[in-house]
Structure 1
Amino acid sequence: MTTFDYGPIEFYAIGFDGDKPGPGILQAVDDLVATGTINVLDLVFATRSPEGELTVMELSDTTDDGGVPALDLAGLAGMEDIEALAEQVPPGTSAAILVVELLWAKAFAAALYDAGGAVIAREGIPAPVVNAFLAENAD
């Protein structure tokens, strides 16, 4: 069976008010790391001024990591990726741009590869949208 060094990865932009995420956001990420669900590969903070100017700060440039897990592939998110994700950051707010390895999907990806299969499309639906839909359509 094929063994991959890394499983599938995903990029997330997690928006929040202010210039840094609250401890609850960092704790949620830390919990996922601790349970072996994800591995944080890269983390960048993007802040958009009230005038619309984007400032990007690599986690490695901060003096206080606030308990954020160690990064396996710091710098993996390129500026083009960051700018594309940060388009959704409104003026006066910020986002944590996370690149995470989906550890739960690593063995599945290897099994698909060995069987000659591959994921050819994927669509994500945010949890608030799913729950609002289900609440509106409950019998």
Structure 2
Amino acid sequence: MTTFDYGPIEFYAIGFDGDRPGPAVLAAVDDLVASGTVNVLDLVFARRSPEGELEILELSDTIDDGGAPALDLEGLAGEEDILALAEGLEPGSSAAILVVELLWAKSFAAALYDAGGAVIARQSIPAPIVNAFLSEHAD
């Protein structure tokens, strides 16, 4: 069976009001890493000032005590990626730009590859939309 060094990766822009996400964001990411669900490859923060200026902060710039977690592929999210993901940030808001390896899908990707298959399309629907739809259409 084929063994991949990395599984599929996904880029996320997680938006927040204010100039930066709170510490609960890193705690939630840490929980996903500890459970073996994801591997964090890169993490940066973007914030848009009330005047509309965009500022990009590396993870190490946001943690005062130097206790930033190690990132496997820091810099994987390039400037073009970050600008595209942060495009919709409203003035006075911020976003965590997160690049994660989907550890749960790593062996699945290898099995598909060995079988001559590959994921050719993927659609994601955010949880709030799924839950709102289901609550509206509940019997």
- Name the structure 2 match of 1:99: 99
Question: 1:62 Cα shift?
Answer: 4.1
Unmatched 5+ stretches in structure 2: none
**Normalized against structure 1, the TM-score is what?**
0.94
In 2, Cα distance between equivalents of 1:49 and 1:95: 12
Does the CA contact (< 8 Å) of 2:60 and 2:66 recur in 1?
no
Deviations 1:68-105 (A, max 9, x none): 53200000000110001001211100001000000000
- The alignment covers a number of residue pairs equal to 139
- Name the structure 2 match of 1:14: 14
Which moved further from structure 2: 3-12 or 49-58?
Answer: 49-58
- Secondary structure of 1:97's counterpart equals strand
Unmatched 5+ stretches in structure 1: none
- Name the structure 2 match of 1:40: 40
In 2, Cα distance between equivalents of 1:127 and 1:67: 31
In 1, Cα distance between equivalents of 2:35 and 2:67: 16
Does the CA contact (< 8 Å) of 2:7 and 2:105 recur in 1?
yes
- Secondary structure of 2:77's counterpart equals coil
What percentage of residue pairs aligned between the two structures are identical? 82
**Normalized against structure 2, the TM-score is what?**
0.94
Does the CA contact (< 8 Å) of 2:20 and 2:93 recur in 1?
no
